[in-house]
Amino acid sequence: METEDTDVAKDSLAAHSVFVADLDGPAKPADDADHPDIRSGISNFLGLFRKRVLQSNTYQLARKFVQNGVADLEVGDESTAATAMSAYAVLKKACDAIKSDRLELTKPFDDLKTGLIVEANTFIRPIQFAMDKLGRRVTNWHEAERALAATTQKEAEERARNQHEAAAAEARRIGVPVPPTPKVEVGGPSKTIRTTQGSGTIARRWHYEITDPTLVPREFCVPAHGLIRDAVDAGARDIPGVRIYDDTSLSMKGGA
């Protein structure tokens, strides 16, 4: 009489057969008609962006300044410094305007990207859950097989050692050369599992967890840039192992 476990095993085997049939079957090609012509849309947006920039008086003035060599303007007194700052302001306004146009045009794409990520995750999440569960089953099986192979290897080595010791003792008793120690190799599970859908490799990796930062050796520590920056901003000018220096930069505020 068949037991309930036998029925469960048959059901599992039947389901496995269905999965194998699906996996070996041809993949359904994607229908190109379902996909919008994204390249055309991107090209149109790039054209719109170029048109807006080229029609901007701010850009055209900055472009004229650059073509006339404004970057080589000599600064030797307050008057020429003021002229250079005025030109700098024109160039900065052009850059800011171009960036503003770019952000205005790309904002809808940012919203679209966020929406697509959320929508994609609703499809991916249950599939990823199944992948993770299947993956754990495979790795758990592999770990159990590896542990079994290690135990079998140890037992085989013990038997071989005992047999060699007995053979060595007998060889010495009858005055013949002692036979060499035999090598015992018990094969474990393969690291690579090949299927019709591709090959999966099972790898063991070591991980770490910091339990007491004060005990970590100095060679595994790096300076805390954020703490150094805060100290320098607070007025520190001498920190062992750190070169503290200054430089000069230019910032521009709105003009008349």
Q: Residue 238 and residue 245: Cα distance in Å, rounded? A: 10
Q: Residue 127 and residue 135: Cα distance in Å, rounded? A: 12
The verdict on pTM exceeding 0.75 is: no
216 within 8 A of 210, measured Cβ to Cβ: yes
Q: How far is CA 105 from the centre of its chain?
A: 29
Query: What are the pLDDT tens digits along the chain (256 aa)?
Result: 444 444 544 455 555 555 555 555 555 555 555 555 667 777 788 888 899 999 999 999 999 999 999 999 899 999 999 999 999 999 999 999 999 999 988 888 888 889 999 999 999 999 999 999 998 998 899 889 888 988 888 888 888 888 888 888 888 888 888 888 888 888 888 888 888 888 888 888 889 999 999 999 999 999 999 999 999 999 999 999 999 999 988 887 766 5
pLDDT score of 33: 53
pLDDT score of 124: 94
Sequence ranges of the domains in the chain: 37-200
pLDDT score of 19: 54
pLDDT score of 69: 92
Greatest extent of the chain over all pairs of C-alpha atoms, in Å: 113
Lookup: tokens for 212: 């007491």
